A and B are shown apart, each in its own frame.
Chain A
Amino acid sequence: MMLNWLLLIPLLGGFAAWLAGLWRPVWSRWLSLIALGTYSVLVLWLWSVGNGRLTPDPDQIWWLQFNRAWIPQIGARYHLAVDGLSWILLALSGLLGMLAVGTSWQEIQEHVGFFHFNLLWAIAALTGVFLAVDLLLFYFFWEMMLIPLYYLIGIWGHERRVYATLKFFLFTQLGGLFMLIAILGLFFVHGSATGAYTFEYQLLLGTSSLIPGWAFWLMMGFFIAFAIKLPAFPLHTWLPDAHTEAPTAGSVLLAGLVLKTGAYGLLRFLYPLFHESAARFALIGMGLGVIGILYGAVLAFAQTDLKRMVAYTSVSHMGFILLGVFAWNDLALQGTIVIMVAHGLSTGGLFILVGDLYQRLGTRDITRMGGLWSLAPRMSRVGLILALASLGLPGLVNFVGEYLILVGVYRTYPWMAVVAAIGLIIATVYSLWMIQRIFTGENTAGWRIADYGRRELTIMTVIVGLLVGLGVYPQPLLNAGRATLKHLQATIASVGPEDGERQDSTCTHGHPLKVDEDNTVYVPEEGK
């Protein structure tokens, strides 16, 4: 039931914030903060539930779960479950959600209630994505997430928001539909092989080995969906537009959480469900990752729009995730989880910084900035730290992630790691160049701006504190994810290539649809 509250709090809070916004805008801000604060407290409470589960035990992998029939006619269940991986992302959702509310305090002045409604509903849908372990339910939340984000960008965005939202929606929708086909493919394969028509994640693990020929194509269905969200190299073009046009809070959610759903999907679903095909695909996947790292970095360097630049750095950082997932070994996977958090914090922070600059300067054009350090020293220091985090300076958490991934990859594909490491050099160049252009040099444009106030400083302190804290002592983060990763790796090992007789005894959750002709919705007719 606790897991339901994680969904209900933002959903109900969203309504409350909307209604309160009709009355007094500031109330809807406070209500959203309270809702997300409660949410975060719940997430912290979950930690106390799961903290002991550091040893992977196949029956105890979930810290907590909630499992009810949803659409029994087609074997879909309302099954939520949380483990270390989900927990990390839930914690990130709560935190970034609050930061997003905080950073919108001044920026959003129109339709404030509706804004917070969408913000909270986006958080709810994201929570659903991170909790669902029924594939149909996962897809459901996956798509539901688009609508509030669509509104966030489409209503409160900048000049070219209509174009950006359409592109964003169409790209992700297309990917989602491919995933839906793949999910249904798994559903029918599993159903016709075992008689249990189910969308249950745990039961579908290993199904792909039943159909060696088809598994690759089903995997591609998932891969396209996740690669679009991540985004991976050739499918990334929606991201710079969506980021650039989004309001700051929208960018924070996009970078911090929405991109993570792609990473989460790869870790949770793609590789475990299709490990053989994924292993065959690994070189291409890693190749795309490396291309993404270099390409994103080079393009980031070429931007003059500050926000667009940060968006391209996202493409670059997400390349590491692709690299780490497809390397699929201990170190690389640990690194992937760390990068997810690190990128959420550092890029989220950078977007907030850009938003703050935009509010003060009215422009995002880097060429018009310069010499802001003396005017706003606090802001500049924060900017410097964020840039250093983004370039992977040791002592900050991004370094931990990138280092782990590179080491992990180096074990299997040394040259891949070598090429990817070049990305770090470019990252250093663009990050420092950015700081140089914005904060140092001559204030040629004659800007006079206010330094960070208390609200903004608080937000940034949280981000910087976590970046440094986890950078120096990343162990809690590694611990939280370790059990899940062990479990995922163990699952794959246990479901051997030709192991057809797997886990028939565990089909208790699935609702077998009888293959009666007059039975239910769509049992495929045998032999037709």
Chain B
Amino acid sequence: MTTDDLLAVLPLILVAGTIILVMLTVAVRRIHLLTAGLTMSGLVLAFVSLFMAGRFSGRSVTPLFIVDGFGLSVMGMVIAAGLVVALFSFIYFERGTEQRDEHYLLLMMAILGAMVLAVSNHLGAFFLGLEVLGVSLYGLIAYQGTESRSIEAGLKYFILAAMSTAFVGFGIALLYAETGVLNLSAMTGFTSHAGIISLAGILLVLVGIFFKLAIVPFHLWSPDVYQGAPAPTAAFIATASKGGVFAFFLRAAGMLALPAAPYFFAGIAVLAMISMFAGNLLALQQQNLKRLLAYSSIAHMGYLLITVLAFQIWALTAAIIYLAAYFIAILAAFGAVIALSTPEREAEKLEDYRGLYWRHPWLAAVLTLSMLSLAGIPLTAGFMGKFILVAGGISKAFWVLIFSLILSSVIGLYYYLRVIVTMFAPLPGDETEHPVSSTMPWSGWIALASLTILLLWIGVYPSPFLGAIKTILMTGG
């Protein structure tokens, strides 16, 4: 390993270093502000170091990692999302709970796992990243140890995730048994001439990936976990966790030429369509905003799978833009939820948002915009994401997939609008059952404001972003 190698993976090293530093600090003194501050500074540093790592774009660091434009972009998004989640966590835990410092350790570990996934070029590294992410999530989800539903969610996630890990492990073993390699680069275009054992292995790995992405029919954990987990954790699961796994899936599917095999293509396409429809249909009658967002995520992952099927340069751009738009919207939505929540009493029922326009107009505006973005309405980033996705799909003549996307997103529009309708419904007469008023610190408002500005900016004038992504993807690689 040379210095250049180390510089190329500097973001990973910095995050890992911050974990140790935070752990030591927590061992000495438990100061919430300090812990959170260190966490966030570490993340900011790691984000800055991405630009350093960008100079070595396209470099393979040990057989495990490849630091390329795509990986770096996803890492950047994961770190940024992690930063926002860390800030939200601070606001959230400041309002209650005894132990709050360990949360940041687990969060950082999860971020590290997602980052590893984004740049892993090796099934070993993939497994490692998946586990680092997964194990920290068990803790994060069940963090509110006194709340039964939190424990229930954690347990549910633990059992299902452990099982999916077993699948992944067995799948990797099968692949290794037949090919003798674990490096993705050594498996280029492998699917076309894979033997039956390897195919079974790929299938098992896919199960694990789909589980993490909550693709139907592997989605059953998702609504319960979103509901039971503390709101910042749910935001993390919806964004960084899925983003990291998706990045690896996109990379691996492209390397192995997975979509080139008709049965894999058909299988993934069918699952994508089922996810679009099931996610949107199941969300229709939800009265719980967190569950609603869980189903919405399922649908969005269905849309994203289209990029996997059309593995080429636009697919990478489309995936990055779509993920970015989705991250921003989901984070903004959870930000609004967190602004109104305490660890003891989360504002998760739609009823809690009745009349929000007239109580907290700014918060309502943020939530509205994020809903519109998730629905893919113009002026918001979600539209640009969806537009590029649809455009790419049409250029590849994926008509069935595109029509499924269109129809299911119209269905989806119904429940996003329902959230908005609730917010401008007249105020309920009695002021008794209101969750906490939004006494957010200024940092929270800055985060929400930046997310909103990004949301609108990408939605109205995406040109600089597209240009930047193009530059990043083209360097090295």
By a beta-carbon cutoff of 8 Å, the part of chain A in contact with chain B is 69-74, 111, 139-140, 143-144, 146-147, 150-151, 154-155, 162, 165-166, 169-170, 173-174, 177-178, 180-181, 184-185, 187-188, 517-525, 528
A525 to chain B: closest residue by CB: B312
Q: Is the CB of A181 within 8 A of B313?
A: no
Most buried by B among A165, A180, A519, A521: A521
A187 neighbours in B (Cβ, 8 Å): 391
Q: Supply 17 further A-B pairs (C-beta < 8 A) apart from A166-B414, A188-B394, A521-B314.
A: A73-B470, A74-B391, A147-B372, A147-B377, A150-B417, A155-B424, A166-B421, A170-B413, A518-B313, A521-B388, A522-B313, A522-B317, A522-B318, A522-B388, A522-B395, A524-B395, A524-B396
Q: Is the interface of A mostly helix, strand, loop or mixed?
A: helix
Q: Is the CB of B378 within 8 A of A69?
A: no
B424 neighbours in A (Cβ, 8 Å): 151, 154-155
Q: Is the CB of B470 within 8 A of A140?
A: no
Task: Give min CB distance, A201 to chain B, whole Å.
Answer: 18
A166 neighbours in B (Cβ, 8 Å): 414, 417-418, 421
A150 neighbours in B (Cβ, 8 Å): 417
Most buried by A among B377, B383, B402: B377
* Complex alpha-carbon distance, A177 and B410, angstroms: 9
B463 neighbours in A (Cβ, 8 Å): 69-73
Interface flags for B438-476 (1: CB within 8 Å of A; 0: not) read 000000000000000000000001110011001000100
* Complex alpha-carbon distance, A525 and B311, angstroms: 11
A69 neighbours in B (Cβ, 8 Å): 463
Q: Is the CB of A522 within 8 A of B314?
A: yes
B76 at the A interface (CB under 8 A):
no
B422 to chain A: closest residue by CB: A162
- How many of chain B's residues touch chain A, expressed as a range? 35 or more
* Complex alpha-carbon distance, A155 and B466, angstroms: 37
* Complex alpha-carbon distance, A143 and B394, angstroms: 20
B358 neighbours in A (Cβ, 8 Å): 111
Q: Is the CB of A144 within 8 A of B413?
A: no
B391 neighbours in A (Cβ, 8 Å): 74, 184, 187-188, 522
B318 to chain A: closest residue by CB: A522
Task: Give min CB distance, B352 to chain A, whole Å.
Answer: 18
B410 neighbours in A (Cβ, 8 Å): 170, 173-174, 177
- A-B CB contact pairs (8 Å), 24 listed: A70-B461, A70-B463, A71-B461, A73-B470, A74-B388, A74-B466, A140-B378, A143-B377, A143-B378, A147-B379, A150-B417, A165-B421, A170-B410, A170-B414, A173-B413, A174-B406, A180-B390, A188-B394, A520-B466, A520-B470, A521-B314, A523-B395, A524-B395, A528-B396
B421 neighbours in A (Cβ, 8 Å): 154, 162, 165-166
The verdict on A73 contacting B467 (CB below 8 Å), with A170-B413, A181-B394, A188-B395 known, is: yes
B409 at the A interface (CB under 8 A):
yes
Task: Give min CB distance, A462 to chain B, whole Å.
Answer: 32
* Complex alpha-carbon distance, A69 and B417, angstroms: 33
B392 neighbours in A (Cβ, 8 Å): 522
* Complex alpha-carbon distance, A523 and B392, angstroms: 8
B170 at the A interface (CB under 8 A):
no
A180 to chain B: closest residue by CB: B390
B358 to chain A: closest residue by CB: A111
The verdict on A518 contacting B378 (CB below 8 Å), with A185-B394, A524-B395 known, is: no
Q: Is the CB of B317 within 8 A of A521?
A: yes
Q: Is the CB of A521 within 8 A of B470?
A: yes
Q: Is the CB of B402 within 8 A of A71?
A: no
Task: Give min CB distance, A162 to chain B, whole Å.
Answer: 5
Closest CB pairs A-B (n = 4): A522-B314, A524-B395, A73-B466, A143-B378
Our pick among A151, A181, A520, A525 for the contact of B390 (Cβ within 8 Å) is A181
Q: Is the CB of A177 within 8 A of B406?
A: yes
B470 neighbours in A (Cβ, 8 Å): 73, 520-521
* Complex alpha-carbon distance, A363 and B162, angstroms: 64
Most buried by A among B372, B379, B387, B402: B387
* Complex alpha-carbon distance, A195 and B388, angstroms: 19
Task: Give min CB distance, A525 to chain B, whole Å.
Answer: 6
Q: Is the CB of A71 within 8 A of B314?
A: no
* Complex alpha-carbon distance, A140 and B379, angstroms: 8
The verdict on A71 contacting B466 (CB below 8 Å), with A170-B413, A517-B313, A522-B314 known, is: yes
A155 neighbours in B (Cβ, 8 Å): 424
* Complex alpha-carbon distance, A521 and B474, angstroms: 11
Our pick among A144, A184, A524 for the contact of B379 (Cβ within 8 Å) is A144
* Complex alpha-carbon distance, A111 and B358, angstroms: 9
Most buried by B among A143, A151, A180: A180
B474 neighbours in A (Cβ, 8 Å): 518
* Complex alpha-carbon distance, A522 and B322, angstroms: 14
A519 neighbours in B (Cβ, 8 Å): 313
* Complex alpha-carbon distance, A354 and B390, angstroms: 43
B418 neighbours in A (Cβ, 8 Å): 166
B473 to chain A: closest residue by CB: A518
Q: Is the CB of B461 within 8 A of A523?
A: no
Interface flags for B400-424 (1: CB within 8 Å of A; 0: not) read 0010001001100110011001001
The verdict on A181 contacting B406 (CB below 8 Å), with A73-B467, A522-B318 known, is: yes
* Complex alpha-carbon distance, A143 and B378, angstroms: 6
Most buried by B among A72, A170, A178, A184: A184
Most buried by A among B314, B318, B391: B391
The verdict on A180 contacting B387 (CB below 8 Å), with A170-B414, A521-B470, A522-B314 known, is: yes
B378 neighbours in A (Cβ, 8 Å): 139-140, 143-144
Task: Give min CB distance, B431 to chain A, whole Å.
Answer: 19
Task: Give min CB distance, B427 to chain A, whole Å.
Answer: 11
* Complex alpha-carbon distance, A180 and B402, angstroms: 11
A139 neighbours in B (Cβ, 8 Å): 378
* Complex alpha-carbon distance, A522 and B395, angstroms: 8
Task: Give min CB distance, B358 to chain A, whole Å.
Answer: 8
* Complex alpha-carbon distance, A72 and B465, angstroms: 11
Q: Is the CB of A71 within 8 A of B462?
A: yes
A177 to chain B: closest residue by CB: B406
Task: Give min CB distance, A164 to chain B, whole Å.
Answer: 11
B388 neighbours in A (Cβ, 8 Å): 74, 521-522
* Complex alpha-carbon distance, A166 and B413, angstroms: 9
A181 neighbours in B (Cβ, 8 Å): 390, 394, 402, 406
Task: Give min CB distance, B135 to chain A, whole Å.
Answer: 38
A174 neighbours in B (Cβ, 8 Å): 406, 410
Task: Give min CB distance, B198 to chain A, whole Å.
Answer: 25
B460 to chain A: closest residue by CB: A140
* Complex alpha-carbon distance, A71 and B466, angstroms: 8
